[in-house]
Every structure is written in structure tokens, then in C-alpha cells.
Amino acid sequence: MKELTDLTELKDLTELNVLALSGSLRRNSYNTALLHAARKLTPVGLAIELDHELGGLPLYNQDLDGDTPPESVTALRRRVADADALLIATPEHNASVPAALKSAVDWISTAPQQPLRGKPVAVVGASPGQFGTVRAQLALRQILASVGADAVSKPDVTVFHCDTRFSDDGVLTDTYTIDLLRGLLDALLIKARAAQ
């Protein structure tokens, strides 16, 4: 099999679609802003669509998780299944993944068709603190591994002191972070192509 490492060739193929999930429900979220930045930096060959529906999901409840789960859950599972890859931005809440994101992953993970199994996923995160969501990202990677998703390992995009890296209107201005994001999206493209 031909090795899928030549980005120039990969970018000539059909466009792959990436579903971007933000673990923050906050209106002026840095993590959602990071996804908007990624969207603008998307390499040829990828299209990123932001999902704005996580806040509409109920908290995971096994009593609701039967043959007819809530419509919002079914719709999310479908969007994930239809995506060629995921890009997840996680804030860090008390050194871990925020409840809304964990709950969403739990809902997706119990879908009969297992849409996360083998799914290429890139993880990013932003925090005003000095660790830049390192702990939340580690926790998220552990969760993703347990459901069989295929996470991109490098580069790490842990945006520490994120309040200094965006303009007042939420545009990513930090060139170091922009370069990291570009590198991650290229790595996601390679992984998603290989998974086809």
C-alpha cells in the first residue's frame, strides 16, 4: 500500500469533512474561538464545520438511552458518523474534561453503530492558566482511547495563557499557536486519508 505522507498529493483528493466540537458552552469561549481559527487555517483537502448543539443535549442518562434516545442525541450521533474526522477543543475544568463534553462523548459512545471507533480525532485546548489544558487533554485522550477513536498524537496544541493570544473580538493572533494548529490539521488530514 502506498504510504500516505505526501501532503501535496493528499490535498488533491476529494475534500474530507471534519466536525468540530467545543467542550465550552460559554458565548465568548476561547476554545470555540480556537475552532474558528482552525476553520480559517484549514488546509486544502479538509472542510471544518462547527457543531453548535452540545448545549442542547441532556446529561447522559442510561434511562433515556434506549431504542428511541432524545432527538438531539440521535442527530449528534449521525453528525459524528457522517464526519470523516473530528476536531475537539476542550477547556479544562478542575483538571479534567468539562462535564458537557464528557456527557456528549458518553452519548456518542453508546450508539449501536459505534461512530467513534476508528474515527480520526484531533484534540486542542485553551486555558488562561499556565498548563493550557494539558490535564484535560490527557483525560480526553484516555476517554477517546477507551472508545477506540484514533487520536492524532502530535503536535500538542495546549494553548496556555490563552487570554494573551486572541484579540478582544476572539481572533487568534498568536503566530506560534497558528503554526501549531496548521501542523495539527495537516496531521489530521494524513490520518483521515489513511482511514479511508
Which residues, listed in sequence order, are joined to residue 155 by a DSSP beta bridge? none
> Which one among 21, 24, 181, 190 touches ligand FNR, defined by CB under 6 A?
24
Assigned C-alpha cell, 154: 502530535
State the nearest-atom distance from the C-beta of 116 to ligand FNR, in Å.
22
Asked whether the beta carbons of 45 and 6 are under 8 A apart, the reply is no
- What is the nearest approach in angstroms of ligand FNR to the Cβ of residue 127? 3
Q: What is the CA radius of gyration of the chain?
A: 16
Map the footprint of ligand FNR across residues 100-139, applying CB under 6 A.
127-129, 131
- Binding ligand FNR by CB under 6 A: which of 8, 62, 94, 175? 94
195 Cβ partners below 8 Å, 6+ apart? Answer: 84, 85, 118, 119, 120, 150
In the set 91, 111, 157, 191, which binds ligand FNR (CB under 6 A)?
A: 91
> What is the binding site for ligand FNR (CB under 6 A)?
24, 26, 29-31, 91-95, 127-129, 131
